[in-house]
Amino acid sequence: MTGRGDGSPVRRAVADAHRREWARVLAATVRVARDLDLAEECVQDAYVAALGAWTRDGVPSRPGAWLTTAARHNALDALRRARTLRSKLPLLVEPEGEPEPHVDRLRLVFLCCHPALSAEAQVALTLRLARGVATPDIAGVFLVPVATMAARITRAKKKIAQARIPFRLPGPDELPARLDGALTTVHLLFTTGHTAPTGPTLTRDDIAERALDLARMLTGLLPDEREARGLLALLLANHARRATRTAPDGRPLLLEDQDRALWDRDAIAEADGLVIEALRGGGPGRFTLQAAIATLHATAPSYDDTDWDQILVLYDALLEAWPSPVVALNRTVAVAMVAGPSAALAEVEELERDGRLAAYHYLPAVKADLLRRAGRAREAAEAYGQAIDLAGNDAERAFLAARLAETTGNGTIGDGAAPGS
């Protein structure tokens, strides 16, 4: 027991238990309460009670167990008082027996990422329930008013209750699609932080770090799932460059302009090890292939010395595993480095005719860069203008405007690929 008679260490202990144990405590309480709102309320009350009890009695040796017991007692008391046990029973199906705590947390993640919910609702609910992030902070992630986000989370929870979505692990036939949905939710969250879709800054490191926490949790809960390791590796390799992706004035820096000495080498080494593990056994999925590409970039001694041939091979495999027009567009950057800008330009123009990326500002941005490198300045300027019109992030718009000025003879910028690389 520690912290007797001193509030500060107790507050730190409660904060640490919130960060580490929230999902486990909530998942265990859902099994008793069988109602997400009631379970959340009971867990919050348990954390409040911990402040007083731990100050009075000292911090317990197992804070998570203390909080779980307190929250579950709160739930039982509430159900008895309200005499609602019978009416609550149908809302969530409780599995038989007492599972391991990690199984409960997995159930919670899969509940939050259920395909009946929209992608945005999945991300919001995962942050709220699986990580205990406060609703105002989630509203900040999505740049919406707190009331809007609170209503969105409430609707998602009501949908779970009304649809009687069970609190259980997916069956063997459901698991691949459900796992991919959970990993995609985490990846979507990271992408929102890595390159903010709107707002004045290129990145939101706080969001990216929350996604990293979730990826670590999933990897810990699913140690045999190679794609979970692949996702964690992808996030680590990209987040390792966070200190160098913008200039002091907030302007995005291209990959070739970033100071590689400032990259987080520990994170890159961890990502590299995870990729090697994930590639064992053949048949890598899309997250592992993306991670392999990201770690090749991160471990290259310089932009020019990057193994572009290997990156193109990996993009070919990725496009086969995940035939997305965004992947096809990213692949054109490798094509340009291997076969020249004209070869890549032909593939970009084919994507343009396809039409699915008509609102995606990176398409005209990549096209503009290839045209500029091919010496077609007038057409490049036109494409930069289209990219500026479509971009929603202020830092990226400023970058593209500088490129346009350089292309029309009003500035000076060196060679490069897509912004925000």
pLDDT (tens digit, 9 = 90+) per residue, 168-215?
A: 888 878 887 788 889 998 998 898 888 877 777 888 888 888 889 889
Cross-strand partners of 59? 2
The 8-class DSSP code of residue 313 comes to: H
Q: How many CB atoms lie within 10 A of CB 115?
A: 12
- List, for residues 12-43, the tens digit of each pLDDT value: 999 999 988 898 899 899 988 888 889 999 99
Backbone angles phi and psi of 154, in degrees to 5? -60, -45
DSSP alpha helix (H) spans, 264-376: 265-279, 286-299, 308-321, 325-339, 341-354, 362-373
Residue 197 CB partners (closer than 8 Å, separation 6+): 392, 393
Q: Which of 208, 221, 262 has its CA nearest to residue 110?
A: 221
Distance from C-alpha of 26 to C-alpha of 29, rounded to nearest angstrom: 5
**pLDDT per position in the chain (421 positions), as tens?**
444 444 578 899 999 999 888 988 998 999 888 888 899 999 999 999 999 999 999 999 999 999 999 999 999 888 887 765 555 544 454 554 555 667 788 888 889 988 888 888 888 898 888 878 888 888 877 768 899 999 999 999 998 888 888 888 888 788 877 888 899 989 988 988 888 777 778 888 888 888 898 899 889 888 889 999 999 999 999 999 999 999 888 888 999 999 999 999 999 999 999 999 999 877 899 999 999 999 999 999 999 999 999 999 999 999 999 999 999 999 999 999 999 999 999 999 999 999 999 999 999 999 999 999 999 999 999 999 999 999 988 889 999 999 999 998 754 444 333 434 4
- CB count in 10 Å sphere of residue 366: 27
